[in-house]
């Protein structure tokens, strides 16, 4: 079952359970998927959906940080609830050890020898870690490995 189909099934379940918070978040995600389909006139793949959900989680984390700084607990709670719902559709996050192993493998397989090869390493890693690790954090780890 594709990720979009999982979202649609979860939407039906949330409707049956009358879970308004979950239903609203899932509808928001499905609306984003539909927007991509309409704008780009193509079928959305699982990779597209994964990238979309990851982006939505990142946006909500940024908003949550701002709401926390502004002492807006009501809005913070909403953002955290949406993050929880969206995370339920994302694959299990990679551990630090798994990330380190993948970076080592990417550097050795791509033949990277310095910062000029950063793009090769990132290109090799991106499909394997999308939705499972923070690309910004991984980028920093790769930089330290390639400059060391």
Q: pTM for the whole thing?
A: 0.79
Show the domains of the chain with their CATH numbers.
Answer: 3-87 (1.10.1510.10), 96-147 (1.10.10.410)
pLDDT band at 128 (very low <50, low <70, confident <90, very high): confident
- Render pLDDT for 27-59 as a digit per residue (tens, 0 to 9): 999 999 999 999 999 999 998 999 899 899 999
Contacts by residues 42-50 (CB-CB < 8 Å, ≥ 24 positions apart): 44/4, 46/2, 46/3, 46/4, 47/127, 47/130, 49/2, 49/3, 49/4, 49/7, 50/3, 50/90, 50/91, 50/130, 50/131
């Amino acid at each position: 079952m594709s990720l979009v189909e999982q979202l649609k099934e979860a939407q039906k379940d949330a409707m049956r359970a009358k879970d308004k918070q979950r239903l609203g978040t899932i509808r928001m995600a499905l609306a984003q998927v539909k927007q991509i389909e309409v704008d780009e006139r193509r079928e959305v793949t699982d990779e597209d959906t994964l990238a979309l959900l990851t982006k939505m989680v990142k946006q909500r984390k940024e908003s949550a940080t701002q709401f926390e700084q502004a002492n807006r607990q009501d809005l913070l709670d909403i953002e955290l609830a949406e993050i929880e719902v969206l995370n339920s559709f994302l694959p299990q996050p990679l551990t630090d050890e798994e990330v380190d192993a993948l970076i080592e493998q990417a550097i050795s397989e791509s033949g990277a020898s310095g910062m000029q090869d950063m793009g090769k390493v990132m290109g090799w890693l991106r499909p394997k870690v999308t939705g499972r690790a923070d690309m910004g954090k991984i980028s920093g780890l790769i930089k330290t490995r390639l400059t060391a």
